[in-house]
Amino acid sequence: MSDQVINPWDTQTSGGVIQKIKVPFSLFLQFYTRSIYFETNKIFFERVSNNYRRVAPFVAPNVQGFINRRNGYTADSLSPAYIKEKDEIDINAPLMRMPGETLVSGSLSNQQRHDIIVADMAAQQKQRIYNRFEWLACKAAKDGQVVISGEKYPTRTVSFNRNPGLTLVTDWYATGANPMQDISDLRRLANTESGARIVDVYFGRDAYVAYFNAHKELLVGLGGLMDTRLGGSETQITRLMDQFEGLEYVGRVSGLNGAGEIRIWVYEATYLEAETNAQSYFIEPNEVFGISPTVFQGVRCFGAIKDGKAGWKAMEIFAKNWVSQEDPWEEFFMTQSAPLMVPGDANATFLIKTGTAP
């Protein structure tokens, strides 16, 4: 019967399925709101230091206007690390009854089973690629740089020129430590460097415990500064968004009449390392990360896909399904991407490493 002939997906079908697959929303990727595609061998990203708070100078009306001097500008480029997710379709899989089918004979054709198997592979591959996107987005925002390495790809450190003072290594467990002052100092420096007003501050669990213990009376004592309501709601918030794995809203801290307000979140999401399968945190338990998304304005950059089937075009993810040989039958599904996440202004962030609990 004709419906028993197994047909691999064409490129249009593969790409269409990848586009329609939904992935869970990610914390760090939300800070990268634009995408740029480079149909070149390299991704070019520009580091521009603009201070939009400078006022226009006064001059006499009969004096020539001064030509504005452009701020420092450098263009950098990188041959992006390449991502290839590749799976082989088991030659026997389309013959096996799937969960939910009628017993013995089943209710799906072999082609239908094949399509379900390939769609599942596509979903898993896209999720793993997006996990890598989130990793790149996290490192660029949190650390101000990203270290990229892989098989036959020499280790590269891509620096986004964040002011070194916006990374603070301290000990919040030491006598006399003042976590609230540390955060205030870095918020002030970020404002000086970029004009950013950082309101959202994300804590690792241990860092939040150290912060709370250091300022318990000030935060929750009589007339304390912490408000655990959100937007004036009387309902105490313990978890704001289910789509963010491990994101918990703790409260808002502000001075008199709301001065110096920050929103405090605890973030405990993890990922599995590609090489070792070891579990790691996006924000380490002893870290504190602050960001002003409106000034940070991250960009998702994608290089050209080096595959004739893709026409060497730049795209977020390219997918294809093909048969490499017919005797014996070997069929594969693969997705490819060449990403780099680039901060618009890395100085709109800060990172504090708070030390280890005794």
State which fold the 163-296+346-353 domain adopts.
Answer: capsid protein of prophage fold (3.30.1930)
Length of the chain in terms of residues written: 358
Query: How far apart, in whole angstroms, are the C-alpha atoms of residue 228 and residue 263?
Result: 10
Place of tokens 């892989």: 150
Please determine, looking at this structure, whether the domain spanning 2-49+74-158+301-342 carries the CATH number 3.40.50.360: no
Q: If you write DSSP's letter for every residue of 31-92 in order, what string do you get?
A: GEEEEEEE-SSSEEEEEE---TTPPPPP--TTSPPPPPPPPPEEEEEE-PPPEEEEEEEPTT
Query: How far apart, in whole angstroms, are the C-alpha atoms of residue 15 and residue 32?
Result: 23
Query: How far apart, in whole angstroms, are the C-alpha atoms of residue 289 and residue 214?
Result: 18
pLDDT at 274: 84
pLDDT at 14: 75
CATH topology match: 2-49+74-158+301-342 vs 163-296+346-353: no
- Phi first, then psi, for residue 86 (nearest 5°) are -135, 130
Q: Are the C-beta atoms of 321 and 6 separated by less than 8 Å? A: no
Q: At what angle do helices 11-20 and 110-143 cross, to 10 degrees?
A: 60
Q: Kindly report the number of other CB atoms within 10 A of residue 136's CB atom.
A: 24
Query: Model pTM?
Result: 0.83
What does the domain layout of the chain look like in residue ranges? 2-49+74-158+301-342, 163-296+346-353
Q: What does the pLDDT profile of the chain (358 residues) look like in tens digits?
A: 344 556 777 777 777 777 777 777 789 999 999 998 988 888 876 643 444 555 555 454 544 554 444 444 445 777 777 888 888 888 887 777 767 666 666 678 888 888 888 888 899 899 999 999 999 999 999 999 998 887 777 788 888 989 999 999 999 999 999 999 999 999 999 999 999 999 999 999 999 999 988 888 777 655 667 766 555 443 343 444 444 458 888 888 876 544 578 899 999 999 888 888 899 999 999 999 999 999 999 999 999 998 899 999 999 999 998 888 778 888 888 999 989 999 999 999 999 999 988 8
